[in-house]
């Protein structure tokens, strides 16, 4: 491990790979600096396994320097001046100094290489990310006060925030992410620029917005980041369904603040995640995003009843559709969309269990409908309890404990996670003397329903049920007539 010589730095040990790489570039006649997040992280007492460097060497020169030294390298980002590599377990990216030019109406910068480290730092998003460690001298380069802002706990931009956000509007979302992850505040001028320029986020591709949103949701304090998106107006364009949760509170306070409730559910869902060896290791985007979106159907379904109460009938079903629609617009993959939407749809299923109780068949359906999402559904349902009424909270917790115990008991008896009919498709066709077709599907669903309702049956009992069912089917009469 090397140590930093600059007195401005904390006494943080550095992996030897950093000074060794610096010495290689110096010997080849090029500048090299550790830059951005890895430098910021040194002040936070940590060393990232992902190391970013910047240099005046061009991509071809970078390859000449590192070839034979690194374990492997790749050129995927070559057109942007970036060469990636791996060395001693570290993921490394080295990028030529950039002096990008932005078209105000374009989603992407016109890549232009620069000549000076200071110019490269000026084009970066925030002052805390615009610091560099010049190698191999270990000299801190901080022209825009990144250390000052880190100590002050503020997110600032190297230049005017309006210029920075105009260059790359995604930086507005990134500002909210950094503020929430590092538990720091946005400088007043940064927040004002976000509010003034929120609409400009619409020129950013859905894929880039999605990736930044995932990073925010999977971060240390996602509810705080979402709150910044909503308060700045960015969520009006990125997650309008969440902004819409800020329902006007009626003068009689007949319903709770749905928006603040949703942020609380998100926080509690994060707390429900398990370690790496548990059933829902965190951060779990599906659980967290479902927690945020679970009530987005309420604005569209809110009704004030004659009794003075307020209802949100079927908000779970409506919310599932809204969540899926938003995720499709953000170009999420189908599996993630289906998982989040299913959790939103199922999040109300438990309520009523504590009052009326469920039959074994109802418990089976709950498990079957949740499928592989059951562990997440457990955690979402528990997170959805935000009442300040201690008795009510304890009653709901007790009821859900009871439900989980019943699920575990039935699972031991019946293998609930893989419920199937007592006869498979081949057995159905052989027993009824029919070939493949829709009738087999109907028979399969009938037997599955019987399995759900009454539990497992022995083969003879299942065959008898199937024959009785078959007698009432029109195809049975037709087959008898043909015989």
What residues pair up with 134 in beta bridges, in sequence order?
A: 33, 139
Q: Are residues 440 and 405 in the same domain?
A: no
In a domain, 91, yes or no: yes
462 compared with 8, residue with greater pLDDT: 462
CATH code for position 217: 1.10.110.30
As to burial, measured by CB atoms within 10 angstroms (0-12 exposed, 13-18 middle, 19+ buried), residue 391 is exposed
Beta carbons of 281 and 402 less than 8 angstroms apart: no
| Alpha-carbon gap, residue 418 to 404, rounded angstroms | 17
Is the confidence at residue 399, as pLDDT, over 90? no
Q: How many CA atoms lie within 13 A of 259 on its CB side?
A: 19
Give the rounded distance of the alpha carbon of 340 from its chain centre. 10
Interhelix angle for 170-182 vs 222-232, to 10°?
140
In a domain, 358, yes or no: yes
Beta carbons of 230 and 242 less than 8 angstroms apart: yes
Q: Are residues 54 and 128 in the same domain?
A: yes
State residue 3's pLDDT score.
42
Q: Are residues 110 and 77 in the same domain?
A: yes
Sheet strands (E) in 229-321: 302-304, 310-312
Q: Are residues 168 and 216 in the same domain?
A: yes
156 compared with 3, residue with greater pLDDT: 156
Tell me which residue range forms the domain holding 413: 264-418
Beta carbons of 140 and 8 less than 8 angstroms apart: yes
Mean pLDDT of 407-420: 67
Phi/psi at 117 (5° precision): -60, -45
Is the confidence at residue 262, as pLDDT, over 70? yes
166 Ramachandran zone, left/alpha/beta (phi>0; psi -120 to 50): alpha
In a domain, 20, yes or no: yes
pLDDT digits (tens, 9 = 90+) for 287-328: 999 999 999 999 999 888 777 788 888 999 999 999 999 999
- Of 149, 164, 179, which residue constitutes the final position of a domain? 149
Mean pLDDT of 96-112: 67
Q: Are residues 369 and 309 in the same domain?
A: yes
- Of 149, 167, 201, which residue constitutes the final position of a domain? 149
- Mean pLDDT score of the chain: 87
Name the band, by pLDDT with cuts 50, 70 and 90, for residue 253. Answer: very low
Helix (H) or strand (E) holding 83: strand 82-87
Strand pairing category for 82-87 and 72-74: antiparallel
DSSP, collapsed to helix, strand or coil, labels residue 89 as coil
Mean pLDDT of 444-463: 78
Mean pLDDT of 220-227: 97
Q: Are residues 140 and 7 in the same domain?
A: yes
In a domain, 276, yes or no: yes
Interhelix angle for 360-370 vs 438-454, to 10°?
130
pLDDT digits (tens, 9 = 90+) for 332-363: 999 999 999 999 999 998 886 656 678 888 88
In a domain, 294, yes or no: yes
State residue 425's pLDDT score.
77
Phi/psi at 78 (5° precision): -55, -40
Range in 3-7, 25-29, 247-251 with the lowest mean pLDDT: 3-7
402 compared with 191, residue with greater pLDDT: 191
| pTM confidence score | 0.80
CA dist 49 → 87, 132, 322 (Å): 10, 17, 38
Range in 143-147, 199-203, 353-357 with the lowest mean pLDDT: 353-357
Number of domain units in the chain: 4
- Give me the percent of the chain exceeding a pLDDT of 90: 59
Q: Are residues 38 and 133 in the same domain?
A: yes
DSSP, collapsed to helix, strand or coil, labels residue 251 as coil
Interhelix angle for 425-432 vs 438-454, to 10°?
110
State residue 336's pLDDT score.
98
403 compared with 265, residue with greater pLDDT: 265
Q: Are residues 371 and 467 in the same domain?
A: no
235 compared with 250, residue with greater pLDDT: 235
Name the band, by pLDDT with cuts 50, 70 and 90, for residue 19. Answer: very high
Strand pairing category for 302-304 and 185-186: unpaired
CATH code for position 125: 3.30.460.10
Q: Are residues 300 and 385 in the same domain?
A: yes
In a domain, 244, yes or no: no
Mean pLDDT of 175-196: 96
Range in 152-161, 258-267, 371-380, 461-470 with the lowest mean pLDDT: 461-470
In a domain, 246, yes or no: no
Q: Are residues 332 and 205 in the same domain?
A: no
State residue 95's pLDDT score.
95
Name the band, by pLDDT with cuts 50, 70 and 90, for residue 5. Answer: very low
Q: Are residues 371 and 292 in the same domain?
A: yes
- Of 149, 175, 191, which residue constitutes the final position of a domain? 149
In a domain, 248, yes or no: no
pLDDT digits (tens, 9 = 90+) for 202-214: 999 999 999 999 9
Per-residue burial over 273-283, b if 16 or more Cβ lie within 10 Å, else e, is beeeeeebebe
Name the band, by pLDDT with cuts 50, 70 and 90, for residue 133. Answer: very high
219 compared with 454, residue with greater pLDDT: 219
Strand pairing category for 185-186 and 154-155: parallel
Is the confidence at residue 64, as pLDDT, over 70? yes
Strand order across the beta sheet in which 139-141 lies? 72-74, 82-87, 90-96, 50-55, 32-35, 132-135, 139-141
Q: Are residues 397 and 434 in the same domain?
A: no
């Amino acid at each position: 491990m090397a140590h930093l010589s600059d007195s401005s730095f904390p006494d943080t040990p550095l992996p030897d790979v950093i000074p060794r790489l610096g010495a290689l570039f110096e010997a080849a006649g090029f500048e090299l600096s550790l830059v951005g997040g890895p430098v910021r992280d040194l002040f936070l007492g940590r060393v990232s396994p992902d190391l970013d460097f910047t240099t005046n060497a061009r991509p071809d020169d970078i390859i000449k320097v590192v070839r034979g030294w690194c374990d492997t390298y790749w050129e995927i980002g070559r057109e942007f001046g970036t060469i990636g590599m791996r060395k001693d377990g570290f993921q490394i990216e080295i990028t030529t100094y950039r002096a990008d030019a932005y078209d105000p109406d374009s989603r992407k910068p016109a890549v232009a290489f620069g000549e000076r480290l200071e110019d490269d730092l000026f084009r970066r998003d925030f002052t805390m990310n615009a610091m560099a460690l010049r190698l191999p001298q270990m000299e801190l380069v901080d022209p825009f006060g990144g250390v000052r802002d880190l100590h002050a706990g503020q997110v600032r931009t190297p230049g005017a925030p309006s210029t920075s956000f105009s260059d790359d509007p995604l930086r507005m979302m990134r500002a909210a992410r950094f503020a929430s992850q590092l538990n720091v505040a946005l400088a007043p001028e940064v927040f004002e620029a976000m509010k003034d320029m929120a609409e400009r986020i619409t020129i950013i591709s859905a894929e880039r917005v999605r990736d930044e949103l995932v990073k925010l949701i999977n971060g240390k304090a996602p509810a705080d980041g979402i709150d910044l998106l909503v308060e700045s107006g960015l969520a009006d364009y990125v997650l309008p369904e969440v902004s819409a949760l800020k329902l006007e509170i009626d003068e009689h306070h007949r319903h709770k603040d749905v928006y603040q409730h949703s942020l609380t559910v998100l926080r509690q869902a994060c707390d429900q995640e398990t370690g790496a060896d548990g059933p829902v290791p965190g951060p779990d985007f599906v659980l967290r995003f479902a927690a945020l979106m679970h009530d987005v159907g309420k604005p569209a379904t809110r009704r004030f009843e004659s009794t003075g109460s307020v209802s949100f009938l079927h908000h779970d079903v409506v919310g599932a559709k809204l969540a899926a629609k938003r995720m499709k617009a953000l170009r999420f993959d189908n599996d993630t969309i289906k998982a989040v939407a299913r959790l939103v749809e199922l999040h109300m299923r438990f309520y009523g269990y504590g009052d009326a109780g469920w039959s074994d068949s109802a418990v089976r359906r709950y498990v079957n409908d949740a499928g592989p999402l059951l562990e997440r559904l457990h955690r979402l349902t528990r997170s959805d309890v935000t009442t300040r009424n201690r008795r009510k909270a304890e009653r709901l917790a007790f009821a859900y404990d009871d439900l989980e115990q019943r699920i575990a008991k039935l699972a031991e008896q019946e293998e609930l996670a893989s419920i199937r009919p007592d006869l498979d498709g081949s057995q159905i066709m052989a027993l009824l003397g029919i070939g493949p077709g829709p009738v087999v599907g109907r028979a399969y669903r009938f037997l599955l329903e019987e399995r759900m309702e009454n539990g497992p049956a022995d083969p003879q009992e299942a065959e008898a049920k199937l024959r009785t069912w078959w007698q009432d089917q029109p195809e049975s009469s037709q087959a008898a007539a043909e015989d």
